Amino acid sequence: MTPGRTGIKISIGLQCLAVAVIYVLVNYLGFSHYERRDYSRSQKFTLAEQTKVILGEFKQPLSIIVVSSPSFLSPVSQILGDVRSLMTEILFHKRQGLVVEYVDPTRNPSRIQAIQTKYNLTNLDNVAILDYEGRQRVVNLAEMGEFDMSPLAQGEAPILLGFRGEQILTSGLMSLLKPGSQNIYFLQGHGEPSPDISGDLSTWIDAIHRQNATCIPLSLSSIDKVPDDAAAVVIAAPKSDLDEREAAVLAAWLRLQGKMLVLLDPDASTPRLHSLLAANGILPQDDRVLRLIKLPFAMGILRDVTAEVLKNAEITRRLQGVNILFPGGTQSLSFDKDLAQKEKIQIRPLTQAAEEFWGETSYAPNQAEGVRYDDGIDHGQPVIIAALADRDGVEDDRVNVQTSRLIVVGSSQFAYNTSISQPGLDLLIGCIHYLIDQGNLSGITAKNTVRFALQITDLQLSQLALVVMVAMPTTAAMLGLIVWWRRRS
């Protein structure tokens, strides 16, 4: 009997060992290979692609010190939970070389004094200190929240409307990584909207400022060249044409490795501007991109163009497959391939209209005969909306070569505050990054997390309370009684 018992003991021991090995392997695989998904309504736990890229650019240790206290009588106390969640996500994506420290001034005054001495700061209320290679940036936590301050008049607390912590923090990290602001000049004098933070392009302008760049108005009426400190020039929705001298100045600057973004206004007559673009291989076509849609009793014309982002360049590679809406008038672009080959210009399309759209050449409004696609007259697929041209460049954007760069979009309405969308903003910011040689930072930018408030009346609240506190418990009790009665029977 002894050998049998010994065999049983060995078998049990081997089974226990196998269970232990399987347990260790499952935990190891689960720790090393896993997938995280964000099911929250606003995707608040998902970092933007641009934020992840920027975190990867920090090769040396990075320190973030969050100085705040929940006991402070400040609106910031409402977003401290969001700030901690943001820092947790950043720590997850930057596991090595990042230290996040939370300091409560009311509980650790000695640490506050040490921070004040080290960074030569006096006011340490509700701030985040970013420290990298001896450079520091101080971010005000109050800027991370959007608040409705009107309740203060009744002695009540401000209402939190949205959390923009990732936007503010990403901007601080970018300025810490690459000190010094780049100057983006916006051409003026032809009916273009002003690049003011309160103008018609303020959403885009504010996003550029968060990318560590400065937007400056540019008038060529009194100067003979583009300023030497111009990282790029933007021509956005000109209503009138350039004069000959302005066109010559911009053409000369482009040939000397200038960088330019042009958002066309299809309704404006700008032949000199079109000639400037044609000299770099991009030809704006005299058409309007549209499609027919079936209405209940007739066929309608859809002029708001849905375009797909292509992966032909670093600007759009991280936006591949995203759809961008170009509202209002939009004209298509063609390419002078012979000129491009002769002058060594790399031309690549960035966005292409959906399959149902075409470039209508007879686009005068209220035509009695309506519109239809005429092969050989109208411009069929592919209908290109945006394109870039690199003079003396290479097709691989990872190779940093100083070149002349031109980006043209056959629409401008999508950049205005009234029409701008997140995909459109991502494209515009990607264009700016590409022009100033920061194409690796192109991609989906950080978003503003908007608070969702459920608006219900007092009657609805009473009905909800009745259901939760009376109907649901009563239903559960009745089901329990039914089960008890059946078992007893």
- pLDDT tens-place string over residues 339-352: 989 988 889 999 99
Given 173, 191, 216, the domain boundary residue is 173
Mean pLDDT of 100-110: 88
**Total tally of structural domains belonging to the chain:** 2
Residues 332, 333, 337: CA angle, nearest 5 degrees? 155
Residue 450 lies in a domain: no
For the chain, give the percent of residues with pLDDT over 90: 27
Residue 489 lies in a domain: no
- Shared domain check, 317 and 413: yes
Q: Which residue type does 277 have?
A: L
Question: Is the domain of 241 the same as that of 159?
Answer: no
When mean pLDDT is compared over 78-82, 167-171, 428-432, the highest value belongs to: 428-432
Domain final position from 150, 173, 196: 173
pLDDT category at 236 given cuts 50, 70, 90 is very high
Among 119, 140, 173, which residue terminates a domain? Answer: 173
Is 40 contained in some domain? no
Alpha carbon of 425 to those of 205, 289, 422, 431, 487: distances in Å?
Answer: 10, 21, 5, 10, 65
Q: Is 52 exposed, middle or buried (0-12, 13-18, 19+ CB in 10 A)?
A: middle
Residue 10 is assigned to a structural domain of this protein: no
Q: Are residues 213 and 291 in the same domain?
A: yes
- Do 75 and 169 lie in one domain? The reply is yes
- Residue predicted with more confidence, 480 or 318: 480
CATH of the domain at 58: 3.40.30.10
Q: Is the pLDDT of residue 71 over 60?
A: yes
| DSSP notation for 269-283 | --HHHHHHHHTTTEE
Section 473-487 average pLDDT: 89
pLDDT reported for residue 369: 62
Lowest mean pLDDT among 143-152, 425-434, 461-470: 143-152
pLDDT surpasses 50 at 228:
yes
Say yes or no: 204 and 140 in one domain: no
Structural domain contains residue 287: yes
Task: Pick the range with the lowest mean pLDDT from 177-186, 239-248, 275-284, 422-431.
Answer: 177-186
Q: Tell me, what's the pLDDT at 262?
A: 95
pLDDT tens digits, 397-422: 444 455 789 999 999 999 999 999 88
Residue 278 makes CB contacts below 8 A (sequence gap 6+) with 336
pLDDT at residue number 399: 45
pLDDT for res 1: 46
25 is a domain residue: no
More confident residue, 181 or 443: 181
Answer whether 0.85 is exceeded by the pTM: no
- Is there a domain that residue 20 lies in? no
155 and 215 in a single domain? The answer is no
Q: What integer pLDDT is reported at residue 92 of this predicted model?
A: 83
% of the chain residues with pLDDT over 70: 89
Residues 221 and 167 in one domain: no
pLDDT at position 332 is 93
- For residues 351 and 227, state if they share a domain: yes
Mean pLDDT of 267-286: 93
The CA-based angle 328-333-338, given to 5 degrees, is 170
| Residue 439 pLDDT > 60 | no
- Taking the C-alpha atoms of residue 283 and residue 101, their distance in angstroms, rounded to an integer, is 54
pLDDT band at 201 (very low <50, low <70, confident <90, very high): very high
Residue 452 has what pLDDT? 52
The reply to whether 295 falls in a domain is: yes
Q: What are phi and psi of 454, to 5 degrees?
A: -85, 115
Q: What is the mean pLDDT of residues 259-279?
A: 93
Q: What confidence tier does 188 reach under pLDDT thresholds 50, 70, 90?
A: very high
Domain that holds residue 343: 181-441
272, 317: one domain: yes
What are the helix (H) ranges across 190-261?
202-210, 244-255
Convert the pLDDT of each residue in 444-474 to its tens digit.
555 555 555 566 677 888 888 888 888 898 9
